[in-house]
Amino acid sequence: MTIPAGGFDCYDHRQSMPNLAATFAPVVAALGGMSFASELVAALNQSVPVDHVCLMRFADRIRPPVLESASWRGGDHVGEVQQAYLAGLYKRDPNLKLPGKEGVSVHLLDCNSIVDEGYRAACYDRPGLLQRLTVASVDAGQLLALNLYRLDSTGAFSRNELAQVDALAPLLAALAARHVATLGMQLRSRDRGDRIEAFSARLHAISGSLTPREREVLARVMLGMTSQGIALDLGVSLNTVLTYRKRAYARLGVTGQAELFALWI
């Protein structure tokens, strides 16, 4: 269900979040940082109960999206749901059918309206999600989907709550776009060596069982390098790279790059 702009006249905007600047100041301060999603869900919960937020950036409609998320309540199954989603369920996400045009739109998805039983079971029934409210926008040709979730225990969004999110949609979309752009600038500003070192340190924090060479290989996988490129960069054979990558995946309990990214998140 797409919410039309200004379609909820039951909502008095003058009564909405009287101190909007103070409410969202921590979100602005967190732009480009690791705490952005958690600050955003905290700000939203001052007005509209939201159990979980997830920001997805689709570079195209084919590859898995880049995403980050934070939970206000629940969250017990977030990791496994995201892993399954990135491993292939993203291809069934109704958000992929959103029009790729400029502008901001709001879309309500009820779990009972999801036709794909496998997608619904894994992404909604398993974690106990009832509804998803998506603030969608297109930035530099990329689809940005800011998803706001409600648990079964919290109940459905009320008409007034939908109107509040509708009113905030331009602000939320702008924050999402600026966060993504800031992240991109930060990544470009770092030299390649610093990024590989940071990836390697993060991998070591995830699992101390990885060998230094395995971390070197996976850090370059995270950087987007091909196996051939990694082999040239490290001065080893392609088969050696494939062996290290296979061993590292086994230690982490993942089977491919999508699951590696999900574990990273």
Question: Within this chain, do residues 181 and 91 fall inside the same structural domain, yes or no?
Answer: yes
Q: Which two tokens stand for residue 239?
A: 């088969």
Is residue 55 within 8 Å of residue 68, measured between CB atoms?
yes
Report residue 57: phi and psi, to 5°.
-125, 110
For the chain, 265 residues long, give each residue's pLDDT as a single digit of tens: 555 444 544 455 444 445 888 899 999 988 887 788 999 999 999 999 999 999 998 888 788 887 888 899 887 788 888 888 988 999 999 999 887 677 899 999 999 999 999 999 999 999 999 999 999 998 778 899 999 999 999 999 999 999 999 999 999 999 999 888 887 655 554 556 777 887 888 888 888 889 999 999 998 888 777 887 788 788 888 899 999 999 999 998 888 877 787 776 5
Last-in-domain residue among 188, 208, 243: 188
Alpha helices in 74-135 (DSSP H): 78-86, 117-120
Q: Which two tokens stand for residue 183?
A: 């992240």
Structure-block tokens of residue 116: 């794909």
Residues 170 and 248 in one domain: no
CB 54 within 8 Å of CB 150: no
Domain closes at, from 147, 164, 188: 188
Rounded Cα distance between 169 and 207, Å, is 39
Residues 259 and 167 both lie in one domain: no
> By the 8 A CB rule, do 251 and 260 touch?
no
Give Dmax over CA atoms of the chain in angstroms.
Answer: 66
Asked if residue 163 and residue 212 are part of one domain, the reply reads no
Domain end point (choices 149, 168, 188):
188
